[in-house]
Amino acid sequence: MRLVVLILLAMAPAFALYVFNSYQQTVAQKGNVREAALRLVRVMKASHTQTIEEAKGVLKAMAQLSSLRKTGPHRCDLLRSELAPTFPRFAEIGLASPNGDVICLTGPSRAKSNVASQPFFSDTMARHDIGAGPYQIDEASLLPQVFLGVPITGDAMRVDAVLFASLSLSQFETLPPAVQLSHDSIIVVFDDTGLVLARYPDPQGWRGTRRIADSPIVRTVRGSLEEEGVIDLQGADDVPRLFAFAKIHRTTKQTVYLAIGIPAALAYADASNAFRSNMLNLGLVSLLVLWIAWVGSHRLVVRKMQSLIRVSDRIRNGDFGARSGVARTRDEVGLLASAIDSMAQSIQSRVAELQRHGDELRELKEMNDALQACMTQDEVLAIVRQFALRLFPDQPGMLYLMHPSGDHLEAKTRWGDPAAMNEFLPQDCWAVRRGKMYRVEAGGDQPRCHHVQDPPPGNYVCVPLMVQGEMLGLLHLENDKIGNRSREQPMVQAAAEHTALTLANLRLRDTLHAQAMRDGLTGLFNRRFMEESLSREMRNARRTKSPVAIVMIDIDHFKRFNDTFGHAAGDTLLREVGKMLQRQMRGGDLACRYGGEEFTIILPATSLHNAADLAEKLRDSARHLRVTMDGQALGQITISLGVACFPEHGDTWEAVLHAADIALMQAKHTRNRTIAYGAEEVSVPGRKVGT
């Protein structure tokens, strides 16, 4: 009996742990059910939101039709004959004047002759943007619907009319087939007044009524500050249910909710059954333990040996965390158990070390793969920080990059709270001086780097980022483990090498990209980039029906300037003219060197008149440009300009560029002139024309 009592006392913690784990498992299963219900609500909410946004986009697109922006009876014909059949999701489409009078309406009219008092109309007029009314039930079809309105603006952004439409929210009809709900589950859509917009299934005809206005679910969601949630409540049909709800529409006057109700007994059936099964198993095990303890007390030694055999089998099958559990006594069984446990501990430590090394290699490979996919320096910095936290946990650090001036290093990213400066000179770090890794141990006599602040960390290591002898930056890690020095250093070195190679490749790519796009003398875009940009801008202009202007520029008497002052002075003049063009350009304009002393300016979305005005400003700026070389003034310069515009002067960029070139040739007959293609000399009021 004493042995039975002893066994029961020994097993009591295990039984308690089993009960606790069973309870936790039940709680987790219930949590999974609640999360699944919430995910289902989110999917339905996203589907509904997408439908509303698509409808708003369609209505906005209608409002941009030029036929609707012009007054006349043709607008009503367009609504009835084309727009209404094209967009059947709109039950009605109408047009109203700014004072709310309905101009025309498609379909059987159920709207008032004046909609000024409608919420969607006042919302649209107040915001000068798309407005929406409350969700409501259509009296004829008994389906939920919402009115949307969008302003049709004329000159000076004045609202000339309001295009409105009744959007049938009939997609609620498709929700039940789209989801696999359990038996007796319901889906209900209602507003904060308790009006049922949709209910599935709805055998009792709840839609369009307020029969759930005082139900627990309506009171709960109406008083909740959360956008979504899960709660156990008594349903309006007196059935305990698990409700998952979300707000799908909210204005100052109305909030609409979507809720899914699953019978609680059905929702938690699996969790409850699992808990009962676990408790039954526990009872059976308890009875079995008592029987074994009662009839097998004489087999204490055999049980110990069986335990040793079991742990040996587990170790043989790869479970190196297995232990015998036998007391380490000085008898033969205790010594054998101690030897087996020590062996398992040694094997487990070695396997853990190998696994840790493999994990680190995989992390390094992932880091290298991520760095190879980086397109910018900021992406590299983010990747380095991410993997530094994974490779070197609990080790603060910083990544420094050399400033473009080359006179100091500055911190670009950090993790933890390192005791290092944000900026320092190259001579302040021993690793930068020596060009190799430098490590300082706590209590050591190595000189510390000057960029490490007081109080200094116990240990730190600095690894320079170098590629082909060029110093790109520095990787600084603190509190690295002395006991794992042989393991830590290769990891730090490898991470630094991957980072340095990636940064060097990005710099090389950026340099090659700039050389391919820019003119080396003036810094402007080259001719190849100009042709690609013209092709792109012409495609955009055709799509948006906007103009694109081209200005051709030629420096007057450039050959004589070269012959007088030399080619070096000519290069200086070209650079100064390039700088002048860059200063005068607006955002989105492109200044390019066409070749020799000729330049081209691309002006997207710019009319011929505005382009000519900008050309006159450039000509005036050129007359006031003062170019000096070695302290000697090179004299006043003038430029000639030719202007052409798409689509007036051609339907391709080659044709427009040719037209601008012809205008430039006309301007060069007298020089210091701006000529628009097909027109006389451009004259801007208030500005004198040069001679």
The whole-number pLDDT of residue 328 equals 67
Cα–Cα distance for residue pair 248/31, rounded to 1 Å? 23
Query: Which residues are annotated as catalytic?
Result: 597
Q: How confident is the model at residue 224 (pLDDT cuts 50, 70, 90)?
A: confident
Using pLDDT thresholds of 50, 70 and 90, give the confidence band for residue 560.
confident
What pLDDT shows up at residue 480?
57
More confident residue, 267 or 162: 162
Model confidence at 601: pLDDT above 90: yes
Mean pLDDT of the chain: 83
645: pLDDT confidence band, cut at 50, 70 and 90?
very high
The answer, yes or no, to whether residue 267 has pLDDT greater than 70, is: yes
Bridge partners (DSSP) listed for residue 250: 255
DSSP state of 467: E
Quick one: pLDDT at residue 400?
93
Q: Tell me what the mean pLDDT of segment 402-411 comes to.
A: 89
Question: Above pLDDT 90, what percent of the chain?
Answer: 20
The C-alpha angle with vertex 310 and arms to 305 and 316, in degrees rounded to 5, equals 125
Distance CA 187, CA 217 (A): 12
What DSSP string describes 671-690?
Answer: SS-EEETTS-B---TT-PPP
Residues 367, 373: Cα–Cα separation, whole Å? 10
> 513: pLDDT confidence band, cut at 50, 70 and 90?
low
User: Are 260 and 246 contacting, i.e. CB atoms less than 8 angstroms apart?
Assistant: no
Please give the average per-residue pLDDT across 601-606, as a whole number.
Answer: 93
Distance CA 687, CA 623 (A): 13
Cα distance between residue 391 and residue 620, in whole Å: 61
The per-residue pLDDT for range 145-177, each reduced to its tens digit, is 888 999 988 776 788 889 999 888 766 655 554
Q: What pLDDT score was predicted for residue 110?
A: 54
Q: Which of 280-284, 512-516, 648-652 has the highest mean pLDDT?
A: 648-652
Q: Token pair for residue 213?
A: 């206005």
- Total residue count of the chain as it appears in this document: 691
393 pLDDT band, cuts 50/70/90, is: confident
In tens, the pLDDT along 50-89 reads 888 888 899 998 888 888 888 878 888 888 888 888 888 8
d(CA 54, CA 397): 48
Report the half-sphere exposure of 118 (CA within 13 A, side-chain side). 29
C-alpha distances out from residue 359 to 347, 353, 395, 610, Å: 18, 10, 18, 63
Q: Mean per-residue pLDDT for 577-595?
A: 88
- In terms of DSSP bridges, do strands 102-105 and 90-96 run parallel, antiparallel, or are they unpaired? antiparallel
Beta carbons of 69 and 160 less than 8 angstroms apart: yes
DSSP string, 85-129: HH-TTEEEEEEE-TTSBEEEE-SS--S-SB-TTSHHHHHHHHHTS
CA–CA distance, 258 with 189 (Å, rounded to integer): 5
Whether the pLDDT of residue 335 is over 80: the answer is: no
The pTM (predicted TM-score) of the whole model is 0.41
Predicted pLDDT at 537: 92
Q: What is the reported pLDDT for 653? A: 92
Please check the confidence at residue 333 and state whether its pLDDT lies above 80: no
How far apart CA 136 and CA 146 sit, in angstroms, is 6
pLDDT by residue (tens digit) across 365-392? 888 888 888 888 888 889 889 888 888 8
Cα–Cα distance, 451 to 408 (Å, whole number) = 11
290 pLDDT band, cuts 50/70/90, is confident
Mean pLDDT of 572-579: 88
Q: Which residues contact 529 (CB under 8 A, 6 or more apart)?
A: 516, 517, 518, 592
Looking at residue 178, what is its pLDDT? 45
Of the spans 347-351, 381-385, 631-635, which averages the highest pLDDT?
381-385
H-run or E-run covering 63: helix 2-63
Residue 684 pLDDT level (bands cut at 50, 70, 90): very low
Q: How many CB atoms lie within 10 A of CB 100?
A: 17
